[in-house]
Structure 1
Amino acid sequence: MYIYKLTRIVFNNGEEVQPGNLTVIIGPNNAGKSRTLKDIAQKTTRSTSLPDVVVSDVEWTNPQNLQELREAYSLERYQDEHTNWMFRTLTPDLSEEHQGNADFWFEDHLISHVFSNTSLFAQQFGIAMLAFITTEHRLQLVKEAASAAHERQEANLLQTLYNAGTSLENQIQKLVKRAFGKETKLDFTVPQRLLLRVGDDFSEIPPDPRDARQPMEQYEKLDDQGDGIRSFVGITTALLATKRNVFLIDEPEAFLAPPQAFRIGEFIAEQANSKRQINNFSHT
């Protein structure tokens, strides 16, 4: 099966890096670490990137055909109100829905041209292949958001978490419990709204959301908690709920006390494997 991976990163000074499953670059403030991630994100998700600052070139694996790509990443297409074929995915920062044109999927010569042209592939499909978790956006990843307006919509990370089901939510709950001694639970008792609650024990919450509404209101919102737990839940949810193989994470230890920083580092290392590539940058 096709796996999207970064194979080569070239810096402006001529140095090169061939990223492995887990690549960690450590350095002081203003050393260019965050800028490196931004350059990589721009070059892999845009047809025309902004002027190079740190990185001059990025190479990645390309699929052989559209079917191979769709099977690996479940890219869905649909017809809009104007009968145009579109596909939808979360933006690389996982904050909103991106809708891309899919009319060219039906034209063999056009789709072949996209696969043979790296800048076109970046523009059309790179946005769905890579996740870029910045320190600026991390605290907003799992904030209260609207529930899906239609079937299969994933316009925010909480919708993705909801669609993933209880098994994955329980996995995140265990990670948070281990790191912070608290549990989290997705609250969808109001049909138009999704949010995470924080508490000591959710075992007595009724399974029917109508019966659970009042009991759930007794628990605090994750949005009202400290930066540390919000950052931790954002990173763990992004890695577990999204089907992407390349993650760029800027300072994953930011906002966390040493014990929690150790836990997030341990979790990230466990997630990096032959099918998932994680690149993160930390301060010394």
Structure 2
Amino acid sequence: MTASFFLEQLTFSGGESIHLEPDSIVVIVGPNNAGKSATLREIRSKQVTEAYKTTRSHVIANVRMGRTGTTEEFLERMAPYWQPESGYYQLTALGDPDVSTGQFGQLGQFGLSYMGFDPAKTPENMLRLIWEQGHLSTLPNLFIGLLDLSTRINATEPADVFNLTTDIPYHPIQKMCVNPVLADRLSRYFQRAFGHALIVNRTFGNTMPLHCGPLPPFAPGEDRVSPSYARKLQALPLLQNQGDGMRSFAGCLLEVTAAASFVLMIDEPEAFLHPPQARFLGTLLAKEKPAGRQLIIATHSGDLLRGLLDANPSSLQIIRLTREGHLNHARTLDKERIRTLWDDPILRFSNTLDSLFHEQVVLCEADGDCRFYASLLEATLSEDTDTRMPDVMFTSTGGKHKIPTIAKALASIGIPTRAIVDFDILNSESPLREAVEALGGNWDEFQPRWKQVKAGVEQRKPELETPHVRKEIEKLLSEVSTAIFPNDVAKSIREVLKRASPWDEAKQLGLGAVPKGQLRQVAETLLADLRRLGLFIVETGEMESFVPTVGGHGNAWLAEVLRKDLRQDPHLENARKFVQGLFSPLPRATS
């Protein structure tokens, strides 16, 4: 067993306590201003200043630490810092606290140096005491590290030259210098992300900077310390002079692979990165996390989360934060549900996971539906400067049958979830039943009315009966003489089949396909109760039925409609009312 401290439980201001596993990767997600970054800062503050009672926090109410391993295993982990010549541990870079105020003098407050000890000469009995009594604030940079943007940028600054025989390499660049395998691996990662190698310059002078560019080949007789080769390196761009994206990416990898911290927290590692680089970084963070260490990541990026899922770490845990007033609430996403989403080949390349970063989500059957309803929502609110634009994401599920799975996963962590479906979802029990149950409804309360409505639609006589359908199709087939079946004939056959089905007609008419009278009233109350649950069935049939004066279907219809005045065009009035009705309060998820 490897000795380790880890975050065992986080209690948030909203009252929820989340259990964390050792050696895990914890990803904190949620809408803007939910407290993601503040969570990391307050965890760090509570541990570094554990004896400083005036420390205040707003998101985290309590942090409980766990510990694995024995004292001897802890000393074994500290072996790289042992100086046999002096008989002490050299912990200079591990005991520097992040605060400089308060009352000092007792073990466990603000670091060894504030207690009158020389961190460069730490006796073994002091380390034993630190471990056995759990004084994390004595060595804050060993136990819990916070990697924000400035820390990542600073990690790419040149490192001091050090004595390979007597000094301990604390800086990540120093560790690259003594570990060529690590240096080569990080260089290959950087090459893949930015098209440049990452090279340590050991001959620069009093410092060792990182260069980026093509790795210079050795000329005959050259090696890494040859003056001629040094000149080649110095001609390459310095990483410290590059953009923040390159530096932040490199800083993340340097700190994760070389940091001493038992728990390493990273705030928004995706900052300044394009989506493909953010996704790649997520994969590398999962792949490169040293065994026995805990990684806590606060992120706004679905791409980074996708990268973590690409790596398929069994220890991945996702926590979603939301804020209600001054309270921050937390929920854990069930691992099996997120894996179910991620294993679906369609959803893997969709934006469904981005819903974790929004306050609410609307599921639609297709991308065109998302664009239509999102455009109408924006149009209805664009001139109202006093009303906050809803933080809502419209996402396509690729059809009705995917809605229950996604809705169940999102609702399980408290994301207010709605779904818009065409009227023909009433055609069969599945996926209607699964969608109702995924949104928290009791199917037994809906089934009797659904059966009545379904029977009412199907009692309508189709426009064509079977003999007529057969006759029309045979007539169309008799006119085909080419080796390749004509597209226009195929289209005509499809139109014939559509007219033979009452549900194809219902998809165009919506409630108009239900017989008038008592059965129509049953249908209206059924749709109203489904809306209160979060399942919005288009009463006019389908998206295109909102504006029947525009011909075509799908993207062709949508392109024409979006040219209209979405705010005031009278033909879109029913569509505007439908979209506004999407955001009435829904019951809060409790599963």
Aligned to 2:173: 158
1:270–1:93 Cα change, 3 Å: farther
Identity %: 24
1:209 aligns with 2:210: no
Distance 1:228 1:51 in 2: 33
Contact 1:22 1:279 in 2 (8 A): yes
Aligned to 2:485: none
* Pairing partner for 1:139 from 153, 156, 161: 153
Q: What letter matches 2:168 in structure 1?
A: Q
Aligned to 2:17: 16
Aligned to 1:176: 190
Aligned to 1:58: 63
Contact 1:11 1:56 in 2 (8 A): yes
CA deviation vs aligned residue, 1:131-173 (integer Å, no higher than 9, x gap):
211023221111123222672233533223323x111000001
Equivalent positions of 1:188-203 (< 5 A) are 188-203=202-217
Q: What letter matches 1:6 in structure 2?
A: L
1:191–1:274 Cα change, 3 Å: closer
1:223–1:41 Cα change, 3 Å: same
Contact 1:145 1:194 in 2 (8 A): yes
Q: Which has the higher helix share?
A: 2
Q: 1:228 offset after TM fit, Å?
A: 0.9
1:4 aligns with 2:5: yes
1:234 aligns with 2:239: no
CA deviation vs aligned residue, 1:187-211 (integer Å, no higher than 9, x gap):
0113411100011233337433243
Equivalent positions of 1:27-176 (< 5 A) are 27-49=30-52, 50-62=55-67, 65-74=70-79, 76-77=81-82, 87-91=90-94, 100=119, 105-106=124-125, 111-112=128-129, 114-115=130-131, 117-118=133-134, 121-148=135-162, 151-163=166-178, 165-176=179-190
1:187–1:103 Cα change, 3 Å: closer
State the Cα RMSD in Å. 3.2
CA deviation vs aligned residue, 1:83-115 (integer Å, no higher than 9, x gap):
9956315359999xx8637656337xx944x44
1:29–1:94 Cα change, 3 Å: farther
1:215–1:106 Cα change, 3 Å: same
Distance 1:91 1:189 in 2: 27
1:115–1:214 Cα change, 3 Å: closer
Distance 1:29 1:129 in 2: 29
CA deviation vs aligned residue, 1:222-261 (integer Å, no higher than 9, x gap):
0111111111111111111234442100001111011101
Q: What letter matches 1:68 in structure 2?
A: E
SS at match of 1:5: strand
Distance 1:274 1:239 in 2: 11
1:4–1:203 Cα change, 3 Å: farther
Q: What letter matches 2:162 in structure 1?
A: A
Q: Which runs of 5+ in 1 are unaligned?
A: none
Aligned to 1:267: 284
1:196–1:208 Cα change, 3 Å: same
Q: 1:72 offset after TM fit, Å?
A: 2.1
1:277 aligns with 2:294: yes
Q: Which runs of 5+ in 2 are unaligned?
A: 99-112, 301-356, 358-591
Q: 1:51 offset after TM fit, Å?
A: 1.7
Q: 1:279 offset after TM fit, Å?
A: 1.0
Distance 1:183 1:273 in 2: 23
Q: 1:46 offset after TM fit, Å?
A: 3.6
1:255–1:89 Cα change, 3 Å: farther
Contact 2:157 2:209 in 1 (8 A): yes
From the CA coordinates, give the structure whose radius of gyration is larger: 2
Distance 1:138 1:274 in 2: 21
SS at match of 2:297: strand
1:92–1:78 Cα change, 3 Å: closer
1:127–1:244 Cα change, 3 Å: closer
SS at match of 2:273: coil
1:102–1:147 Cα change, 3 Å: closer
Distance 2:97 2:203 in 1: 23
1:76–1:153 Cα change, 3 Å: closer
Distance 2:12 2:262 in 1: 22
1:174–1:64 Cα change, 3 Å: closer
Q: 1:15 offset after TM fit, Å?
A: 1.3
Distance 1:79 1:47 in 2: 32
Contact 1:62 1:115 in 2 (8 A): no
Distance 1:265 1:231 in 2: 13
Distance 2:96 2:297 in 1: 15
Q: Which has the higher contact order (CA 8 A, sep 6+)?
A: 1
Q: What letter matches 2:198 in structure 1?
A: T
Distance 1:262 1:126 in 2: 30
Contact 1:46 1:126 in 2 (8 A): no
Contact 1:184 1:199 in 2 (8 A): yes
1:159–1:192 Cα change, 3 Å: same
Q: What letter matches 1:62 in structure 2?
A: R
Contact 1:73 1:244 in 2 (8 A): no
Q: 1:125 offset after TM fit, Å?
A: 3.6
Contact 1:141 1:157 in 2 (8 A): yes
Q: What letter matches 1:24 in structure 2?
A: V
1:282–1:148 Cα change, 3 Å: same
Q: What letter matches 1:37 in structure 2?
A: L
Q: Structure 1 length normalisation: TM-score?
A: 0.83
Q: For this pair of structures, how many residues does the alignment match? A: 274
Q: Structure 2 length normalisation: TM-score?
A: 0.42
